[in-house]
Structure 1
Amino acid sequence: MQDMGFSCRIPCVKPHLNKRQHQKRLAWAKDKKDWTAAEWSKVMFSDESKFCISFGNQGPRVWRKRGEAQNPRCLRSSVKFPQSVMVWGAMSSAGVGILCFLRSKVNAAIYQEVLEHFMLPAADELYGDADFIFQQDLAPAHSAKATSTWFKDHGIPVLDWPANSPDLKPIENLWGIVKRKMQYTRPNNSEELKATIRATWALITPEQCYRLIDSMPRRIAAVIQAKGAPTKY
Structure 2
Amino acid sequence: MSEQMRLMRSKELPKELRDRIVARHRSGQGYKRISAALKVPKSTVASIILKWKKFGTTRTLPRPGRLAKLSNRGRRALVREVKKNPKITVAELQRCSKEMGESSTKSPITAALHQSGLYGRVARRKPLLSARHMKACIEFAKKHMKDSQTMRNKILWSDETKIELFGVNSKRYVWRKPGTAHHLPNTIPTVKHGGGSIMLWGCFSAAGTGRLVAIEGKMNAAKYRDILEENLFQSAQDLRLGRRFTFQQDNDPKHTAKITKEWLRNNSVTVLDWPSQSPDLNPIEHLWRDLKMAVHQRSPSNLTELERIPKSRCEKLVASFPRRLMAVLAPKGASTQY
Q: Fold-level match, TM-score > 0.5?
A: yes
Aligned to 1:15: 127
Aligned to 1:173: 286
SS in 2 for 1:35: coil
Is 1:213 aligned with 2:318?
yes
Contact 2:167 2:188 in 1 (8 A): no
Contact 2:153 2:318 in 1 (8 A): yes
Aligned to 1:44: 156
CA distance in 1, matches of 2:122, 2:189: 20
Among 102, 108, 113, which residue is 2:226 paired with? 113
TM-score (norm 1): 0.83
Letter in 2 for 1:174: L
Contact 2:141 2:328 in 1 (8 A): yes
Aligned to 2:209: 96
Among 118, 143, 146, which residue is 1:31 paired with? 143
Is 1:194 aligned with 2:303?
yes
Q: Which runs of 5+ in 1 are unaligned?
A: none
SS in 2 for 1:155: coil
* More displaced stretch, 49-58 vs 73-82: 73-82
Letter in 1 for 2:268: G
Is 1:230 aligned with 2:338?
no
CA distance in 1, matches of 2:161, 2:150: 27
SS in 2 for 1:142: coil
Contact 2:154 2:241 in 1 (8 A): no
Contact 1:45 1:91 in 2 (8 A): yes
Larger Rg: 2
SS in 1 for 2:296: coil
Q: Which runs of 5+ in 2 are unaligned?
A: 1-109
Q: Which structure has greater helix proportion?
A: 2
* More displaced stretch, 41-50 vs 105-114: 105-114
For the aligned residues, what is the CA RMSD? 2.9
SS in 2 for 1:183: helix
SS in 2 for 1:48: strand
Letter in 2 for 1:43: I
SS in 2 for 1:161: coil
Aligned residue pair count: 221
TM-score (norm 2): 0.58
Aligned to 2:37: none
Is 1:162 aligned with 2:275?
yes
SS in 1 for 2:229: helix
Relative contact order, higher structure (CA 8 A, sep 6+): 1
Shift of 1:18: 1.4
Is 1:152 aligned with 2:265?
yes
Shift of 1:10: 3.0
